[in-house]
Amino acid sequence: MSNTPVPPSRVSERAGVLPKKPNDKRPANEPDFSTLLLSWLDSHRASLADSLRRLGRQPIGSFFTCLVMAIALSLPMGLSLLLDNVERLGGSWQRAAQISLFMQLDVDNAEGERLRAQIAERPDVAAADWVSREQALAELEQQAGLGEALKELPENPLPGVILVTPKQIDKAGLESLRQHLAELPGVQQAQLDLLWVERLDAILGLGERFIFGLAVLLVLALLLVIGNTIRLHIENRRSEIEVIKLVGGTDSYVRRPFLYMGALYGFGAGLLAWLVLVYGLDWLNQAVVRLAGLYGSDFALAGVPLEDGLSLLAGAILLGYIGAWLAVARHLRELAPR
Amino acid sequence: MIRFEQVGKRYPNGHVGLHELSFHVRRGEFIFVTGHSGAGKSTMLRLLLAMERPTSGKLLLAGQDLSSITTAQIPFLRRQIGVVFQNHQLLFDRSVFDNVALPLKILGMGKDEIAKRTLLALERVSLKDKAEHFPADLSTGQQQRVGIARAVVHQPALLLADEPTGNLDPRLAAEIMSVFEDINRLGTTVLIASHDLALIARMRHRLLTLQRGRLIGDGEAA
């Protein structure tokens, strides 16, 4: 066989070389920017579709992977929501740090109201409420179930109270405010009970720390789950990856479908976790409402706020993406063509 | 196009793959590399594909020193090379069209351009009518031609082939070689590693003979 030269026009035609414009200085194989951009977008679309197809081919396996991730996500999130409810039950911090001014028994409603207005104008006070002697007695009867016993008393023993809500809740500031209010005329006693506030603060702090530790551990577990799942996908596509690398595919090109797969697992897990939390809290709420009712309270668990659900979903997608990225980064080095 | 200057390749276990190999290949040349198993043919191809690096000497490909190429540059180097394997390395879950189109997708070409070039490459290996088939539907010879179409679809400057006719009968082997010659006539430098001496002799191209990692012959096949 001999090397017979072929005319340039026929050469182009046979090799699939398309004629270039005379002033086009780009190499024959280098597309322009818009073509590259469209191709890049198309490559992302193809990677996403391919990842969806692959997950769809193993529906049960994909579902269980998502479910394991969902459980890992819903545990800390669920505990955090429960803690929020406990905080709500205990009242806000400002309410918990209220200063109660017990008035002398001879302070009437008009005087009490005047003093309340005077206190409310202070710059370090957020709000001041006047509770008259009659109101105090009615509340006590209602809350403690002592109606009959209280009726036996010759006169109302309860003083009027001004409930002062401070703007700042630092301990030193509160104590200074309490002392100042105690010196006002007509005030019998100014009470600031910080001990239970501090105890509740400590308990909630412990709860938050526990949830944070649990969340860290479960996030690590989740990264391992997603990493291991992606590793199996990489193993299944080893020969494809080797070919892609041999024909000039970059690491980012190889990585792309796996990142989509990780994000899709995260999306599925986030949705499942959201559902688990919504139905789980609803199920728990029935028992909580019944228990609260026995104590004469209308307390009910708050559900999953939309913004918390969306954050959960976004976080799950991000975790899936990061897990996949770590898995691919770790295995990409081993996937050099052989 | 290719310049080996005292290139050596020694593996960590002490085995010497290539021993101070020196030769050069001009642009547009058609060249065979032969030798017994373990002579260094595959090592040479692996060095050219930057799958391994020389441990001594200098290896230049189109002016680029492969001894000092960075990992990030390797994909871009490989885009200038087409490679054909004895076992084709086709993706069996993709159609013939998608297999051949793969290098163009990686290059970032537009859909229309990819379709045009892929069908032209398949036409060149007489498989245009099999574009929508899957590799498993094809004969061994046809699979090898799909591998060749994939190797040349992006018009590489250099085409490497490692025992491309190893699994084929003589008639199919001759057919595949004529495809390589067609590609070479279009200006692509072709380097084929083969131990099929009868086939090499019929082709009458430059022949490098390796033995235990050393170059022991460089001339036209006779």
pLDDT digits (tens, 9 = 90+) for A252-277: 888 999 999 999 999 999 999 999 99
CA distance B70 to chain A (A): 13
Please name which of A233, A259, A236, A231 lies closest in space to residue A320, comparing C-alpha atoms: A259
Instruction: Mark out the alpha helices in chain A (DSSP H runs).
Output: 8-15, 33-57, 59-90, 93-96, 109-120, 133-144, 147-151, 171-182, 195-236, 238-246, 251-294, 306-332
Average pLDDT over residues B195-216: 88
Interface probe for A, chosen from B113, B185, B192, B220 (most Cβ of A below 10 Å), is B185
Interfacial B residues in 118-147 facing A (CB < 8 Å)? 120-121, 124
B207 in A contact zone (CB under 8 Å) = no
Residue B16 contacts by C-beta under 8 Å, 6 or more apart in sequence? B8, B9, B10, B212, B213
Residue B203 in 3-state DSSP?
helix
- Pairs of residues, one from chain A and one from chain B, whose beta carbons lie less than 8 Å apart: 105
Angle at A15 between CA B134 and CA B222, to 5 degrees: 95
Give the pLDDT of residue B22.
92
* Interchain contact, B106 vs A253, CB within 8 Å: yes
A203 in B contact zone (CB under 8 Å) = no
Do A318 and A264 touch, CB atoms closer than 8 A? Answer: no
Q: Is residue A17 over pLDDT 50? A: no
> Rounded to whole angstroms, how far apart are CA atoms B67 and A328?
27
The identity of residue B143, as a single letter, is: Q
Average pLDDT over residues B169-193: 87
Q: Is residue A152 over pLDDT 80? A: no
For A313: left if phi > 0, alpha if psi spans -120 to 50, otherwise beta; the answer is alpha
Dihedral sign, Cα of residue B117, residue B121, residue B123, residue B124: positive
Q: Is residue A13 over pLDDT 90? A: no
Q: Is residue B161 over pLDDT 60? A: yes
Return the structure tokens found at A91.
Answer: 């009242």
pLDDT band at A18 (very low <50, low <70, confident <90, very high): very low
> Rounded to whole angstroms, how far apart are CA atoms B18 and B6?
9
Residue with the bigger pLDDT between A100 and A89: it is: A100
* Interchain contact, B79 vs A40, CB within 8 Å: no
A239 in B contact zone (CB under 8 Å) = yes
CA distance B193 to chain A (A): 17
pLDDT band at B55 (very low <50, low <70, confident <90, very high): very high
Please name which of A142, A107, A327, A103 lies closest in space to residue A224, comparing C-alpha atoms: A327
DSSP 8-state class, residue A235: H
Interface probe for A, chosen from B95, B186, B204 (most Cβ of A below 10 Å), is B186
Q: Radius of gyration (Cα) for chain B, nearest Å?
A: 17
Closest partner CB to B185 (pick from A6, A247, A251)? A6
Reported ipTM: 0.88
Do A203 and A83 touch, CB atoms closer than 8 A? Answer: no
Return the structure tokens found at A155.
Answer: 């006169």
Strand pairing partners for A166?
A125
Return the structure tokens found at A187.
Answer: 């005030």
Average pLDDT over residues A224-232: 89
Average pLDDT over residues A93-114: 82
Cβ density class B179-192: b for 16+ within 10 Å, e for less:
bbbbbbbbbbbbbb
> Rounded to whole angstroms, how far apart are CA atoms B131 and B112?
15
Strand pairing partners for B83?
B160
Q: Is residue A36 over pLDDT 90? A: no
The mean predicted confidence, pLDDT, of chain A is: 81
Q: Radius of gyration (Cα) for chain A, nearest Å?
A: 34
Least confident of A96-110, A137-151, B44-58, B76-90: A137-151
Residue with the bigger pLDDT between A286 and A14: it is: A286
Give the pLDDT of residue A155.
82
Do A165 and A185 touch, CB atoms closer than 8 A? Answer: no
Residue B1 in 3-state DSSP?
coil
Average pLDDT over residues A120-133: 90
Please name which of B139, B134, B206 lies closest in space to residue B175, comparing C-alpha atoms: B139
Q: Is residue B19 over pLDDT 70? A: yes
Residue-wise pLDDT tens digits, A319-334:
999 999 999 888 877 7
Give the pLDDT of residue A9.
37
Least confident of A1-10, A45-54, A151-160: A1-10
Residue B127 contacts by C-beta under 8 Å, 6 or more apart in sequence? B96, B138, B142, B145, B146, B149
> Rounded to whole angstroms, how far apart are CA atoms A112 and A102?
10
Average pLDDT over residues A25-30: 51
* Interchain contact, B155 vs A3, CB within 8 Å: no
Instruction: Using CA coordinates, name the residue in chain A closest to B93.
Output: A240
* Interchain contact, A248 vs B155, CB within 8 Å: no
pLDDT band at B58 (very low <50, low <70, confident <90, very high): very high
In chain B, which residues have their Cβ closer than 8 Å to the Cβ of A17?
155
Please name which of B36, B62, B45, B37 lies closest in space to residue B7, comparing C-alpha atoms: B45
* Interchain contact, B203 vs A29, CB within 8 Å: no
Average pLDDT over residues B129-158: 91
Dihedral sign, Cα of residue A327, residue A332, residue A338, residue B6: negative
In DSSP notation, A99-161 reads EEEEEPTT--HHHHHHHHHHHHTSTTEEEEEEE-HHHHHHHHHHHHS-HHHHHTSSS--PPPE
> Rounded to whole angstroms, how far apart are CA atoms B165 and A165?
90
Q: Is residue B148 over pLDDT 50? A: yes
The mean predicted confidence, pLDDT, of chain B is: 89
Give the pLDDT of residue A15.
37
In chain A, which residues have their Cβ closer than 8 Å to the Cβ of B90?
243
Q: Is residue A51 over pLDDT 80? A: yes
CA distance B104 to chain A (A): 9
Do A68 and A229 touch, CB atoms closer than 8 A? Answer: no
Least confident of A149-153, A278-282, B44-48, B164-168: A149-153
Average pLDDT over residues B128-148: 91
Please name which of A24, A44, A168, A159 lies closest in space to residue A100, comparing C-alpha atoms: A159
Give the pLDDT of residue A218.
87
Q: Quick one: what percent of chain A has pLDDT higher than 90?
A: 24
Please name which of B74, B17, B33 lies closest in space to residue B51, comparing C-alpha atoms: B74
B116 in A contact zone (CB under 8 Å) = yes
Residue-wise pLDDT tens digits, A165-209:
888 766 778 888 889 999 999 999 998 867 766 777 788 888 889
* Interchain contact, B83 vs A16, CB within 8 Å: no
Residue-wise pLDDT tens digits, B66-103:
888 888 889 989 999 999 987 778 999 899 999 999 99
Give the pLDDT of residue A96.
57
